Structure 1
Amino acid sequence: MKFSVLGPAGTFADAAAKAYLKTQPLTNVTFDYHPTFDQVYQAVSGDNIGLLPLENQLDGYVSATLQRLQTADVTEIGEVTIPVDFGLVANVADLQQIKRLYVQFKTEGQCQKLLSTIPNVQIITTSSNMISLEKFQSGQPGDAAIIPQSQMADLSVPLMMDNVADQDDNSTRFIVFKSRRAHLDRLAQQTLVTDQFKAPLFVTPAFNDHPGTLYDILGYFAASQLNLVALMSLPTKTQLGVYSFYLEVSGTRDQQADLFKTLERMAANYQVHPLGYYAV
């Protein structure tokens, strides 16, 4: 089995994938590293699996992942949350001498306090924390990078700062998925291995928007006593002002029948795009 993740080895995605495997009875797994979200998504086929970041504690949901899930034929089979911590390395003696700073696009939003202390630096956004490290190592005096704390032990540079995220207790949640469209009837037949479940999905109004649309959608879950743990709106990109709602529903094993009855009723009035149903 191939397990496709954001690479190279050493990223938080790599650590999350290894943490997920410790909880699963999977053998003969080969890691398949890719530099971009799209390449990870495209690499997953058949019985292989992939992993992408979904939500960071400090910087919120990862829009690049949500935008792919919105139209993707995938089934989420699980999730894993890991702590993330960052350090700063620089080829200078102090912060004010930094000219260029390499930082991954999502990491930037988690280190705003640090960045506010060096407002004149040129920020160069990367697609991976490990690419930030590689760019820094092949750079020149005046370069700096925000990288995973775990990578700092092997470096020897003039300026090193530990734990530069805005909070010490920072974490990121990742989803694990297969390249297979999720169908309500197939998901309803799954048996949970724990008592708690999570069911992510997109709901899109099938007709023109009107006052109370979101109220009506939320009413389905309230009537069934199903708990919503996430609610986001994303443009459908079909025309300006038309949105889909990303939802995550949580519940217990004895609410499984209620969940799928509720989603079937919703499907009569809305476009319901289920993404999975898994134990948490």
Structure 2
Amino acid sequence: MKFSVLGPAGTFADAAAKAYLKQHPIDNIEIDYHATFDQVYQAVTPDGIGLLPLENQLDGFVLATLQRLQTSDIDEIGEVTVPVNFGLAAKADQLSDIKRIYVQFKTEGQCQKLLNSLPDVQIITTSSNMVSVEKLQAGEPGDAAIIPQSQMAVQDFPLMQDNVADQTDNATRFIIFKKQPTSLIEPTAPMDPSATFKFPMFVTPPTEEVGVLQQILSQLAATHLNLVTIMSLPTRQQIGIYAFYIEISGTFAQQHILFKTLDLMSELYTIHPLGFYRV
């Protein structure tokens, strides 16, 4: 069984996968590394699972993941949050000697204070933090990289600065999924009524009209379920038509209320469920 994640080994995705397996042990599983989000998704086999970053504490939701969720039939089976922080490493003696800096596309938004202090430095975006490390290792004098803080102890460059993220209490939330559609049918397996669940989904209204979001939210508010997240993404059908990414949480005692509400909502909107799991 393969666990497909963004690689190479040493990324925060790798740490998240290992943290999830520590919490939910799976026999005979192999972590399978890939260079891009799309490759991670495509590599998930019928009996395997995948992991993608969903939300960062400083930089918000990962648009590439939301876009994948919007168009794919997946079943989220869990989530895991891991702390993330970054250091600066450079083939330079001082900050003023840096000419270019390698930084992963999502890391860039978490280290704006540092990058804004280097206005004349060329920023080169990479697909993963470990690729930034590799680019720096193969680079020239004047090159630098923002790399995982965990790598600072195992790398050796002339200039090294710890904890360069905008906040030290930074974290990223990852989702774990299977490549199969999520059902809107209420599960029958008994659960502890006091335990909590999460239900992520996309809700797409048929047309854009005044008050449509309020109508959607009012149906959820009437259930006393907790609306954890709401994000809008274009449907790409025409300007002004949006789908809403929504996360709902509640206790398993409210499970029947959730699925009854979703059944009613599906008569008015397109519901694209993404999972139903314990948190």
- TM class by shorter chain equals over 0.9
Provide the secondary structure at the position in 1 that maps to 2:169. coil
Corresponding residue for 1:260? 259
Aligned AA for 2:212? T
SS, match of residue 175 in structure 1: strand
Aligned length: 278
1:202-241 → structure 2 map (5 Å cutoff):
202-206=202-206, 208-241=207-240
Q: Superposition pairs for residues 1-280 of structure 1, below 5 Å?
A: 1-185=1-185, 188-192=187-191, 195-206=195-206, 208-280=207-279
- How far apart in 1 are the matches of 2:190 and 2:8? 35
Contact 1:188 1:260 in 2 (8 A): no
What is the percent sequence identity of the aligned residues? Answer: 65
Tell me how far 1:155 sits from its aligned partner.
Answer: 1.5
CA contact (8 A) 2:75 2:177 kept: yes
1:42-61 residue CA offsets vs partner (Å, 9 max, x unmatched): 01121200000000000000
Q: Partners of 2:149 and 2:247 in 1: how far apart?
A: 31
Q: Which amino acid aligns with 1:67?
A: Q
Q: Deviations over 1:48-78 (max 9, x none)?
A: 0000000000000000000000010100000
Change in 2 beyond 3 A, CA 1:217/1:83: same
Find the aligned partners of 2:189 and 2:243 in 1 and give their Cα distance.
26
Amino acid at match of 2:219: Y
Change (3 A) 1:78 1:137: same
2:57 & 2:169 partners in 1: Cα distance?
9
Contact 1:59 1:106 in 2 (8 A): yes
User: Partners of 2:138 and 2:270 in 1: how far apart?
Assistant: 49
Matched residue of 2:10: which SS? coil
Gaps of 5+ in 2: none
Give TM-score scaled by structure 1 length. 0.97
Q: 1:210 to 1:152 in 2, by over 3 A?
A: same
**In 2: Cα distance, 1:237 partner to 1:229 partner:** 25
Greater shift in the superposed pair: 17-26 or 102-111: 17-26
Go from structure 1 to structure 2 and tell me whether the alpha carbon gap of 1:41 and 1:190 turns closer, same or farther (over 3 Å shift).
Answer: farther
Q: Aligned partners of 1:143 and 1:161: how far apart in 2?
A: 14
Q: Distance in 2 between matches of 1:154 and 1:252?
A: 44
